[in-house]
Amino acid sequence: MEQNGRNEILAIDNLTKRFGDTVALDKVHFDLCAGEVHCLVGENGAGKSTLIKILAGAERPDEGTITAFGTQYTRLSPQQSLEAGIGTIYQDIELVGSLTVADNIFLGRELRTKWGSIDSSSQNQKAGELMRSMNIDLPPTALVETFSAAQQQTLQIVKALYLNAKILVLDEPTAALGVEETKALLETIKSLTAQKRGIIYISHFLREIFEIGDRVTVLKDGRVTGTFNIRETNLATITKSMIGRERSLFYERAAVETGEVTLQVRDLERLRHFNGVTFDLHRGEILGFGGVVGSGRSALMRVLFGADRRTMGQIRLNSRAFAPATPMDAIALGVAMIPEDRKSLGLFELRSLLENIAIVHNELRTPLLNHVEENRSVKELVRRLHIVSAGVNQPVGSLSGGNQQKAMLARWMLSNASVFIFDEPTKGVDIGAKEEIYRLMVELAKAGKSILMVSSDMPELISMSDRIAVMRNGELITIVDAKSVTEQQLLGYFLGLAEI
């Protein structure tokens, strides 16, 4: 289809995807032309990842159509996506470091000799030809583990082109790259458009889209809020489209008087994840942690909970040295964590609501259990937290997302925790459950508990936090007063854009 004299190769119409009560994509329209770089931007949780997973065949949409090169689909399988000419390259490197360049390119589709063995000579020759056609200089016989991050990203592109991808979806391709590596990768991407390939480019680094993009589409809360020609727009217009909310719509929490310092963190580092992190957390305080995905927030929380080891730095809890070797150590010393991925890291889905709530309480006590007390305590928490269930013996995996999250919180309310870590506390829950979780967090603060809250939702960060610690590229950049900061200022800190 011709669009303003250009060849449209992809059209997404009315695409909708729901996860329970959460609408991840709401009637999304998006198109791509041959030789174009169409950028896709939005806050964390805006729907970008869901959209590219649908294009890759990893998720199935509930409504809408995808038209690629004139063929219309209501859904794509991974194989159909490849056959349609769509190659998706995720932020995380998906290569085998111990194999050669050629072996990685042909992995799963190896060239064979007439005796059935892998024809390494032919693979090396064809890999070299493919890379020369793209002006890419990667030795076919070199081991991938010897390459830089930028070279590995480039190899992922080569691999997609070997599979005949004419549409490349690049998800945060420069997130782990330095300045020179980023420049080299962007030049490679530009060369692909000269071959009339279409590029969907997702990035949190907004300056990049002005360097490489032709158009940009903004997603917010699963909806398209605008599509702009790069040459006719600016940072202020894009960021306004990304935010688009009034502060009056934010949740209004009760104020809580804060007290002495309960947690001190000094120059904390975990190699390749974050470094030099220093902050204090006070009694009764909710300290928010904001930043884009990959900024180091969750990695920091895992170290504080004893799930990962620190490389260096000091932690003090209630004026005593704190060095948990395991989560059990952290729990025994009074630190609780509600993880982002409650299904794989927090809940035993086939076990009952009763068992899921009581498990930490039981682990901290003697092996002899008082089942009468256990039932009474759990039922009281279920009532107090308004957990909707068919009874405490119902498998927790059959509850709604909001009730599962409240069950996680109930577990820690039976412990002796003084510091609570909430990693994305309202991810995947409806608005009613959100407000109940907010209310419970404020109750904890009023009871003198200290809270660390990681959130990708800026209204949540601003409305629930006393202060907000901003992380970027593994460093704690600044700590700001939540009452005075605006979303636009916060987004500027997240992305390193002081001018917005």
Most confident of 40-44, 171-175, 311-315, 397-401: 311-315
Please count the structural domains in the chain: 2
Domain assignment present for residue 90? The answer is yes
pLDDT greater than 50 at residue 333: yes
pLDDT greater than 70 at residue 394: yes
- Please tell me whether residues 263 and 239 are part of one structural domain: no
Averaged pLDDT for residues 329-353: 81
- What angle is formed at CA 133 by the lines to CA 128 and CA 134, rounded to 5 degrees? 100
- Please tell me whether residues 206 and 257 are part of one structural domain: no
- Please tell me whether residues 449 and 375 are part of one structural domain: yes
Domain assignment present for residue 279? The answer is yes
Locus of tokens 């002796």: 416
- 274-294, pLDDT tens digit by residue? 999 999 999 999 999 998 877
* 35-39, 129-133, 250-254, 481-485: range with lowest mean pLDDT: 250-254
Residue 86: domain span? 2-244
Tokens of 424: 């994305």
* First-to-final CA distance of the chain: 38
The span from the CA of 87 to the CA of 165, in Å, is: 5
Where does the pLDDT of residue 500 fall: very low under 50, low under 70, confident under 90, or very high at 90 and above?
very low
pLDDT greater than 90 at residue 471: yes
pLDDT greater than 80 at residue 499: no
pLDDT greater than 90 at residue 194: no
- 154-189, pLDDT tens digit by residue? 888 888 878 778 999 988 877 666 566 677 778 888
- Please tell me whether residues 234 and 257 are part of one structural domain: no
CB 412 within 8 A of CB 420: yes
User: Is residue 172 exposed (0-12), middle (13-18) or buried (19+ Cβ within 10 Å)?
Assistant: buried
Q: Which residues pair with 33 in a beta bridge?
A: 8
Averaged pLDDT for residues 407-411: 79
- Please tell me whether residues 240 and 261 are part of one structural domain: no
Among 207, 224, 244, which residue terminates a domain?
244
Domain assignment present for residue 500? The answer is no
- Please tell me whether residues 343 and 206 are part of one structural domain: no
Percent of all residues in the chain with a pLDDT value above 90, rounded to a whole number: 40
Where does the pLDDT of residue 8 fall: very low under 50, low under 70, confident under 90, or very high at 90 and above?
very high
Domain assignment present for residue 316? The answer is yes
pLDDT greater than 80 at residue 371: no
Where does the pLDDT of residue 208 fall: very low under 50, low under 70, confident under 90, or very high at 90 and above?
confident
The span from the CA of 196 to the CA of 116, in Å, is: 36
Q: What is the pLDDT of residue 15?
A: 95
The single-letter code of the amino acid at 317 is L
- Please tell me whether residues 133 and 113 are part of one structural domain: yes
Among 178, 212, 244, which residue terminates a domain?
244
Q: What is the pLDDT of residue 378?
A: 82
pLDDT greater than 90 at residue 445: yes
Locus of tokens 């480039």: 154
Which residues contact residue 90 at a Cβ distance below 8 angstroms, ignoring those fewer than 6 apart?
171
- Please tell me whether residues 279 and 220 are part of one structural domain: no
- Please tell me whether residues 103 and 133 are part of one structural domain: yes
Three-state SS for the chain is: CEECCEEEEEEEEEEEEEECCEEEEEEEEEEEECCCEEEEECCCCCCHHHHHHHHHCCCCCCEEEEEECCEEECCCCHHHHHHCCEEEECCCCCCCCCCEHHHHHCCCCCCECCCCCECHHHHHHHHHHHHHHCCCCCCCCCEHHHCCHHHHHHHHHHHHHHCCCCEEEEECCCCCCCHHHHHHHHHHHHHHHCCCCEEEEECCCHHHHHHHCCEEEEEECCEEEEEEEHHHCCHHHHHHHHHCCCHHHCCCCCCCCCCCEEEEEEEEEECCCEEEEEEEEECCCEEEEECCCCCCHHHHHHHHCCCCCCCEEEEEECCEECCCCCHHHHHHCCEEEECCCHHHHCCCCCCEHHHHHHHHHHHCCCCCCCHHHHHHHHHHHHHHCCCCCCCCCCEHHHCCHHHHHHHHHHHHHCCCCCEEEEECCCCCCCHHHHHHHHHHHHHHHHCCCEEEEECCCHHHHHHHCCEEEEEECCEEEEEEECCCCCHHHHHHHHHCCCCC
CB 398 within 8 A of CB 450: no
Q: What is the pLDDT of residue 390?
A: 76
Domain assignment present for residue 380? The answer is yes
Averaged pLDDT for residues 349-375: 69
pLDDT greater than 60 at residue 3: no
Most confident of 331-345, 388-402, 447-461: 447-461
Q: Which residues pair with 68 in a beta bridge?
A: 10, 71
- Please tell me whether residues 220 and 266 are part of one structural domain: no
Domain assignment present for residue 159? The answer is yes
- Please tell me whether residues 272 and 224 are part of one structural domain: no
* 68-77, 91-100, 450-459: range with lowest mean pLDDT: 91-100
Q: What is the pLDDT of residue 237?
A: 85
CA 191 to chain centre: 29
Q: In what order do the strands lie in the sheet with 223-229?
A: 86-89, 167-171, 198-202, 37-41, 215-220, 223-229
- Please tell me whether residues 159 and 23 are part of one structural domain: yes
Which residues contact residue 67 at a Cβ distance below 8 angstroms, ignoring those fewer than 6 apart?
10, 11, 12, 13, 73
pLDDT greater than 80 at residue 4: no
Domain assignment present for residue 355? The answer is yes
Among 179, 209, 244, which residue terminates a domain?
244
The CATH number of whichever domain residue 447 belongs to comes to 3.40.50.300
Q: What is the pLDDT of residue 250?
A: 64
Averaged pLDDT for residues 23-30: 92
Domain assignment present for residue 217? The answer is yes
